[in-house]
Structures are given as C-alpha cells and as structure tokens.
Structure 1
C-alpha cells in the first residue's frame, strides 16, 4: 500500500515515515522545508520504499501514483514558527487541506488530518474530551494556528459527508522527543537547551499552568492505529498523555536531569496561553486500544541525550544552525 505524508521532514512527519516503512508501506513524503529539516529524513534516502518530493502543499498537488492513504501533517506547529509565518500557517491548513482532500477524493484514499489540542483554546472543561467545542479567541495572536486547524477539521468533515471520504482526525496534544529543533520554541526543547547551557529557564506567568507531555514513540503508535484500523470513518481522537504537570514541575525535572545550574526566570504571561491542557483519552483507550507507555522521566532522558548531541555537533559545526 502507498501512503502520502505531507510535512514528511518535520518532527512528527519524519517519525511517521519511519513507522509506515517499518510496517511494510511504500511512503511518498512531501515537504517544503519551511520548518522541517532534510536531516530528519536523510536516513531514508535510497530506501526502496521511500520517495521524497520537495513541494509546498498550498499549491495544487499532482501525484501520478495510486495512493491508499494520505496523512496531512504539514504545518508550522510551534508558536515561534506560526507567529513567524502566520499567513503560510493559515494557507497550509486551508489551501493545503483543500488540495490534499481533493487528492484523497480523486485517489479514493483514506485521509488522516493532524489537528491539535489548540482547537480547545483555553478550555473551560478539564480534561478535554473530543465532544468539547473549545474556548478559542478567533482574532488573538494564536488564532492563525487555532482557527486554521478548526477550519481544516470542518473541511475534512465536509468532504466526509459530501463525498464519502474516509476521514479521521487526530487531535494531538503536546508531544516531544528526538528530531525537535534546537530553536523549536516549544517548552521542552526550550527548557532542555537553556538548562544544558546553564541559562535561566523562561517561565511565562507564575508557572502554575499545566500541560501533558506525550513521547513521540507513543504518539506515532496512536496515529498508526488510528490510520490503519477499519470502521473509523468520520471519527476524531485525542492523542496525548493524560499525566498532567505544571510548567514549574517540568522546569524542576529538567534542571535536575541535566544537572544544570539554571534557575527559573519569570516573565509576563503570553497572550491567550491556556491555563490547563490535558486530554481525555478514554475514546482512544476503548476503540484504538491505545494509551501512552513511556513515562515523562524516561522520555526526557532520551530527549536530553538527543539535544546534548545536537548542541555538541553545532559547537563543532556552527554553520549547521538550529536545524
């Protein structure tokens, strides 16, 4: 079977390429390297079950091959990225979604859309079930990402209802692990890089806001099950780790695990920063028979080792930057 993965050179997309190839699929990867890196998929070049196309999905997509599954994972995903590229973020989850859904219709392919916990905004229900409609500021600074994902969900479901496309939506909560960029901007890579350099860890607000953190291997398994199981047309699943930590607790863990001399530096709160974020994964447990297996302690140790290697490599080869 052939799988098309957009955002293939990104953090999650590159791991998805590995997983589907390992499971015997032929993978066609698309990416324009706006936030992804060739390094993430370099090990796949030359693999007979992988083909890469450098392409921007906001343009019309032509693929001559038969395609069985499309996973639309292209999109800047960290606040640093989508605030730097606000219009492209909205285009990739409007035009990009339209083009990939159109391709799914033409190829009669199953379609998996990478949504986000950000569709819940600053939630008034905790933890957040899939049935919750969210509390989102439609014109706030984060709306370029939040509303783009909400629009893409609506368009995906419209194609499901109007054209019978087998659509599945994964609402992905905070995920971390190897292949995140040094300058990614999300809290775990930020904290690890600052701690390894003995710089103060920036905490916005008082640090009492909570997040849940899912290790990349666990997330990939959840996405794979959501993708390959039959009978899930039109279904939406939260995928994330329901263990909840305050940002201060996370900072303390990372300082301890890195043996850093860093301390916490409190900064003004970020606009529309959710106070709580934690998935209700009872649906994924029941239907996908999935839940995270890797603890935050184990996942952080793996991730810290990865960032140590990246930082050392950059010191030896400063031209490599933060890719």
Structure 2
C-alpha cells in the first residue's frame, strides 16, 4: 500500500524509486546549487520533492532555488510542507525579470511554460515573449554564474510540421494568420527556439546545453481539469462517471510516470551530451480508446462505461504523438520502470488519498 512520505506530498514509494534509480547520478550533484523555473507546475513539484528527499537521504548538501510568480501564495495554499526545508529557497518573479541569486548556481533546470488554460486571445504573443525573454534571462544567468549546465524541457511538439511536402518539393503550409497563431504552431516553434537559444549561448559561454523533448505523462499533480486526455479520464473515473472519448479514439499516445520522468530529466542533466536533444516519454503505444478502457479496468468500471463518440474512418492512418527512445536508452541507459497500468493505479491511489485527507 502506498503512503505519503512524512513531510512531503508524494508517495514515499515514488520518492524512493527516484532516489534508487539515480544512485549513479547523485555524486555529480553533491554540493550543487540548482535553479529551477516552472517550480510550481507538474514537473516542478516533482523535481522539488524528489531533490529534497534525495538530499536528505543521500546527504548531498544541495541548495535549490525555485522561481515562482507568487511563492508565498504557492506555499500557503498548496505546499506549506515545503517551508520546513532550509535547502529550498524561492525567488519571486517572472522568467524574464527575476533577481539573480547572490550565490552562483551550478545547474539550471528551465521547466517554465506559458499555458493557455483560459484560451485567451493574447496567448500566442505572451507565450512567444515568455519563451524568448525568459530563455534569454536564463542563459544570461548561466553565463554570469559560470554554470556547468542548463537543462531546458521542451516538447515533442517541435516535431509537428509547419510545412508540408508534395513529393520531393516543399509547399507553403500555413494559409493565413490563423495558422501561424494556432496554439500547436506557436507552442512547437517556440520550444524549438528555446533549444536554439540555449545551444547558441552554450557555444559562446562554455556551459552544457541539455535538451529534454517531453511528450505525455501521468502521475500525481497532473491537472485533471485541463486539456490532458488521461487527466480527464482519471477525473471521471474517480467520480465513477462514464468515460467519454469525444473523437474516434484512434490517436496514439504513450505515457511516462512522473517518477520515471524525474529520473530521466536528472540523468540528462548530469550525463547528457551538450546540444543533443533527448526524447522523454513512454514506450507503450495505446490508442485513446484503449487508454479509456485501461483506466476503466484499473478503477473497476465495466467496459460499457466507456463511450467513443465518433466512428473511425476505415483505412485511415491514426495520428500519433509517440517518442522514439533509442538515443536516450542507448546513450544514458534509462528505461521505463513503471508500466502504464501501474502508473494509472498509482495516480488514482494518490488522488484517493488526497480526497480522504481533505
């Protein structure tokens, strides 16, 4: 049975999983000062708690500085338990204008991203500005502090095509402003730009530019109400409601549990090759329809509680958002240790635990 670790908000099993799997990595981080952006998001909370847990268990003498727009609000409303750890410090501000820590940082994990939860019309401009100005500030800090490395978490969205081919020739692709400002286009292109900016600065200033192209994930703290298919399915399963797939259920996805995600990210930070992007994601491809049935089976709902709204087109190739994992496996030796069904089970158990303690 999974239990919340005393003084933390995640399961002790998950924190121990990260600590054990990263045994070869911890010596390289002993005495390090890590700076983390996106510290209050899904990636950020997992990184913070995993690093603090390992710091205590392995006696690493880490210092962690976390950037947040409103750290006091975050600590008061979501993470009061984190006040107990003196190795964790917060800096208030945006990525583009925060005050640099006085003590030089040895490693930077740039995991911030401007989300579009409210579907606001100005999101494309805000997202692009945050990507450019925030990354410029981060690489400037890396240069001033003579950092060893900067890890940027980008996205599999960089692979989504902005142009098309007609045989061997390129055709123009976008057919107007609406295509250029579409969320998929802006998000993917801005993530690619972050990679380029970091690599250019690394070449000039001598730090390592590490790149993690992140795909789809599951685990505690993944938002259940936002535009994440697996999150929405888990939300409805927890409520005992029908699991509804609004499309035809054929798109293919793979999911990596957040504990494995942390293992992979910190392995890239310490052992990755500078300027080389690594895909980060699950290895088991499932259709959205299959995913809905897998969630239903784990939670104990009958198969007829899954509804696929649209019929699939016979012979049509399904869309796919799947990472090739050959490079990261061969070079860094990581693997998926938490299978999909277990990942779903752990996430459901965590949410049930949280609901029972409220």
2:299 is the counterpart of 1:255: no
The 3 A distance-change label for structure 1 pair 80 and 259 is farther
2:302 is the counterpart of 1:264: no
Q: Greater CA radius of gyration, 1 or 2? A: 2
**What CA deviation, in whole Å up to 9, does each residue of 1:265-310 have, x standing for no partner?**
52699xxxx9102111111111111111110011100101222344
Q: How does 1:49-88 map to 2 (within 5 A)?
A: 49-76=87-114, 80=117, 85-88=123-126
What does residue 83 of structure 2 align with? Answer: 45
Calculate the TM-score normalised by the size of structure 2: 0.75
Q: Aligned partners of 1:219, 1:102: CA distance in 2, in Å?
A: 27
Q: Aligned partners of 1:216, 1:123: CA distance in 2, in Å?
A: 30
Q: How does 1:134-149 map to 2 (within 5 A)?
A: 138-149=180-191
Could you tell me which runs of 5 or more consecutive residues in structure 2 were left unpaired when the two chains were aligned.
1-31, 164-172, 313-317
Q: Aligned partners of 1:88, 1:37: CA distance in 2, in Å?
A: 22
What does residue 121 of structure 1 align with? Answer: 160
Q: Aligned partners of 1:257, 1:48: CA distance in 2, in Å?
A: 39
**What CA deviation, in whole Å up to 9, does each residue of 1:53-107 have, x standing for no partner?**
2321132542211110011001145x63676844433232221111111111111
Q: Is the 8 A contact 2:139 2:201 kept in 1?
A: yes
The 3 A distance-change label for structure 1 pair 216 and 122 is farther
Among 193, 198, 211, the alignment partner of 1:169 is 211
Question: What displacement does 1:27 show?
Answer: 0.6
Return 246-255 or 81-90, whichever deviates more.
81-90
Among 210, 222, 225, the alignment partner of 2:252 is 210
Q: Secondary structure at the match of 2:327?
A: helix
CA RMSD of aligned residues (A): 2.9
Q: Is the 8 A contact 2:124 2:181 kept in 1?
A: no
The 3 A distance-change label for structure 1 pair 285 and 189 is same
Among 224, 229, 232, the alignment partner of 2:266 is 224
The 3 A distance-change label for structure 1 pair 308 and 37 is farther
What does residue 302 of structure 1 align with? Answer: 346
2:314 is the counterpart of 1:275: no
Larger RCO (alpha carbons 8 Å, 6+ apart)? 1
The 3 A distance-change label for structure 1 pair 123 and 309 is farther
Among 188, 197, 201, the alignment partner of 1:155 is 197
What does residue 131 of structure 1 align with? Answer: none
Q: Aligned partners of 2:51, 2:348: CA distance in 1, in Å?
A: 26
Q: Aligned partners of 1:123, 1:275: CA distance in 2, in Å?
A: 16
**What CA deviation, in whole Å up to 9, does each residue of 1:121-154 have, x standing for no partner?**
1699xxxxxxxxxx99654232232122111111
Q: Is the 8 A contact 2:91 2:99 kept in 1?
A: no
What does residue 19 of structure 1 align with? Answer: 50
The 3 A distance-change label for structure 1 pair 278 and 306 is same
Q: Aligned partners of 1:148, 1:278: CA distance in 2, in Å?
A: 20
Count of aligned residue pairs for this structure pair: 297
What does residue 287 of structure 2 align with? Answer: 246
Q: Is the 8 A contact 1:169 1:236 kept in 2?
A: yes
